[in-house]
């Protein structure tokens, strides 16, 4: 069963689009979270080598995401407009193919995200964080008003 959820994303050119992302492995979709995962994932692969859209779609499929080109390309264009990716055109089997690679800004963003991802995995996946959060002492909280 493919469960989709409409989300909105900014394509970087001032246009808001509604995208549908199928949930991985039949999990309840939280499309706004998934979009962030997908962006980081795309950036990760584009930081290793130039990648083209259909290869990314196949790779994301391997991870359980079912994205159409109409969903992926606005994400790529948005990342490019934000300065994280740039593309070059290559002629492959008589057809122009756009290859996307991470820019220095994209590499930097990925470096910045890595420790945050590690922490998130430790807490959310491995449950190695605090089991409850202490309530602030009343003396520490600012008086209302
Ligand atoms: Zn991957």
pLDDT digits (tens, 9 = 90+) for 33-48: 788 889 999 999 999 9
Our count of domains for the chain comes to 1
Distance 75 CA to ligand 1 centre (A): 16
Residues 129-138 pLDDT 10s = 999 998 887 6
Q: Average pLDDT in the 53-69 region?
A: 90
pLDDT band at 22 (very low <50, low <70, confident <90, very high): low
The CATH number linked to 41 is: 1.10.10.10
User: Is residue 13 situated within a structural domain?
Assistant: no
Tell me which residue range forms the domain holding 41.
Answer: 29-126
Q: Is 114 left (phi over 0), alpha (psi -120 to 50) or beta?
A: alpha
What is the CA(46)–ligand 1 centre distance, in A?
A: 10
Answer whether residue 131 is part of any domain. no
Answer for the pair 24, 2: CB distance below 8 angstroms, yes or no. no
Maximum distance among all Cα pairs of the chain, rounded to whole angstroms: 71
**59 CA distance to ligand 1 centroid (A)?**
6
For residue 132, tell me if it sits in a domain. Answer: no
DSSP state of 50: -
Residue 62 CA to ligand 1 center (angstroms) comes to 8
Q: Residue 75 domain-assigned?
A: yes
């Amino acid at each position: 069963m493919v469960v989709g959820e409409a989300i909105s994303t900014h394509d970087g050119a001032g246009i808001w689009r509604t995208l549908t992302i199928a949930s991985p492995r039949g999990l309840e979709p939280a499309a706004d979270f998934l979009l962030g995962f997908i962006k980081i994932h795309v950036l990760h692969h584009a930081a290793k080598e130039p990648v083209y859209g259909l290869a990314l779609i196949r790779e994301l499929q391997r991870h359980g995401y079912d994205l159409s080109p109409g969903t992926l390309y606005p994400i790529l264009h948005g990342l490019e407009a934000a300065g994280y990716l740039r593309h070059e055109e290559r002629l492959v089997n008589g057809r122009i193919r756009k290859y996307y690679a991470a820019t220095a800004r994209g590499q930097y963003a990925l470096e910045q995200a890595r420790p945050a991802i590690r922490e998130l995995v430790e807490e959310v996946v491995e449950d190695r964080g605090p089991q409850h959060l202490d309530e602030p002492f009343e003396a520490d909280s600012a008086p209302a008003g």
